[in-house]
Amino acid sequence: MPNDFQRDSYADDASLSAYERAAEQGVDPRCIPKSLVGPPPVGDVIVSPVYSDQDRSNWSFLFKRQMDLLKSHASQVFYTGVDTLKMTESRLPALSDLSQKMEAASGWKIARIPGLLHEADFLGLVSKRLFPSTDYIRGVDELDYTPAPDCFHDMFGHMPLLTEPSFADFYQMFGQVSLNAKGSQRKMLETVHWFTVEFGLIRRDGGIGVFGAGILSSKDEVGHAMGGGADIIEFSMERVTSQHYDVWHLQPVLFVLDSFEQLVSEFRAWASAQGILN
């Protein structure tokens, strides 16, 4: 699962469309970032697609399998968030319904997007407390792995955390700060996103819990992260921003927070020192 946005260095600079270039290069076209052509639908105005029986079955299978794999390995915030959003195995949720519940919990709403977005569009939404989410689900032949965004990752992986006020505030600040960033700051912020929003760990009950969406929603990453496959390092902005990562392989290094308050305060201090805090 790649990051949820692509820096613009990856973007179009040729006469071919992104899809045509992807086909030529053998890249899955769903992994080519798109630009929004106008404001996306938000909250109550989002119309749900007509899901097939197979789509609903895929949601149920994925939800049950991840809950079984996670057992008690997820952060408490994740389980609380699943309850707050009333997500269950038996029903593929509607984005409008999830948006209402999320807004009541943390003031965030959901914007429906067509797939992977260019950085400026993605961060523009996040900076306004709007979570960009797809509404299509992976196919039955991709239940173990998909390189593309889908609504199981977006809903199950990301949304429960956005009901938690400290994390919700951090993510909006991340969006605002990232829009102000220049040059190497942008790469550092992409790395922070990877090791928190996508692959973050946090201490809980004397142990360690997962809060990153890339682990929560992935069959292989859960076992790898919780089974001793990764070196787990204490979180610090200095250490995280200098850490290399590879989006196509299981992660050899992960970072653990003491609390989301730690994340907020360290991130704010770093952004202030960089001169990019609003």
Name which of 4 and 135 has its Cβ closer to Fe ion.
4
Q: Which residue has the tokens 């199950």?
A: 156
Enumerate the H helices of the chain as residue ranges. Answer: 18-25, 53-70, 76-84, 95-106, 119-126, 151, 165-180, 184-193, 213-216, 219-226, 237-241, 260-274
Q: How far is the CB of 213 from Fe ion (least distance, A)?
A: 4
Q: How far is the CB of 194 from Fe ion (least distance, A)?
A: 10
Residue 181 DSSP class: -
CB contact at 8 A, 24 and 61: no
Count of residues that interact with Fe ion, criterion CB under 5 A:
2
150 binds Fe ion (CB under 5 A): no
Q: How far is the CB of 157 from Fe ion (least distance, A)?
A: 6
Instruction: Find the part of the chain contacting Fe ion (CB under 5 A) among 73-81, 90-98, 102-110, 212-220.
Output: 212-220
Q: How far is the CB of 158 from Fe ion (least distance, A)?
A: 6
Q: How far is the CB of 198 from Fe ion (least distance, A)?
A: 5
Q: Which of 108, 251, 275 is nearest to 191 (CA)?
A: 251
4 binds Fe ion (CB under 5 A): yes
Alpha-carbon distance 258 to 254, whole Å? 14
Instruction: Find the part of the chain contacting Fe ion (CB under 5 A) among 10-18, 74-82, 133-141, 205-213.
Output: 205-213
Instruction: Find the part of the chain contacting Fe ion (CB under 5 A) among 93-101, 206-214, 221-229, 260-268.
Output: 206-214
Query: What distances in angstroms separate CA 32 from CA 10, 65, 72, 149, one per listed residue?
Result: 9, 28, 35, 11
Selected from 213, 215, 216, 263, the binder of Fe ion by CB under 5 A is 213
Name which of 57 and 243 has its Cβ closer to Fe ion.
243
Residue nearest to Fe ion (CB): 4
Q: How far is the CB of 196 from Fe ion (least distance, A)?
A: 11
Cβ-based neighbours of 230, under 8 Å, separated by 6 or more: 224, 250, 251, 252, 253, 254
Contact residues: Fe ion, CB under 5 A: 4, 213
